[in-house]
Amino acid sequence: MAQLVDNNPAVMAAYEEFKRFTSDAVMRDLEWRRRRFIEDQRLYVSAAKTEGKAEGKAEGKAEGKAEGKAEGKAERDIEVARNMKAEGFDMAVIAKITGLSLAKIKRLD
């Protein structure tokens, strides 16, 4: 290190400033506080990201569940309408019970 400092005036000046800085207790304390603040900010951001991901996952799961229920109900209504149509129920009655349109009921096999 001494050889590097002796050969370059800019490095020597930087080294002297470093020694002055590290020998000053107030400056060391300020640097420690700065580093602590930066680390705390990183932790807050990381925690916020983790929380956001968990919330997004929960919302996505709830939306998926609701969509699945709606699709299941629609399939059930169609199946009930098919069975009622096969048994000879009136189309208006089938529409009233299942909530399907008359046009959709007519297209059922």
Q: What pLDDT was estimated at residue 30?
A: 87
- Burial class of residue 5, CB neighbours in 10 A (0-12, 13-18, 19+): middle
Gyration radius of the chain over CA positions: 37
Residues 33-58 have pLDDT tens digits of 999 999 999 999 999 999 988 998 88
Q: What pLDDT was estimated at residue 76?
A: 93
Per-residue pLDDT band for 109 (boundaries 50, 70, 90) equals confident
Q: φ, ψ for residue 58 (rounded to 5)?
A: -65, -40
Per-residue pLDDT band for 18 (boundaries 50, 70, 90) equals confident
pTM of the predicted structure, to 2 decimals? 0.49
| 3-class SS letters over 1-70 | CHHHHHHCHHHHHHHHHHHHHHHCHHHHHHHHHHHHHHHHHHHHHHHHHHHHHHHHHHHHHHHHHHHHHH
Q: What pLDDT was estimated at residue 3?
A: 66
Q: What pLDDT was estimated at residue 4?
A: 64
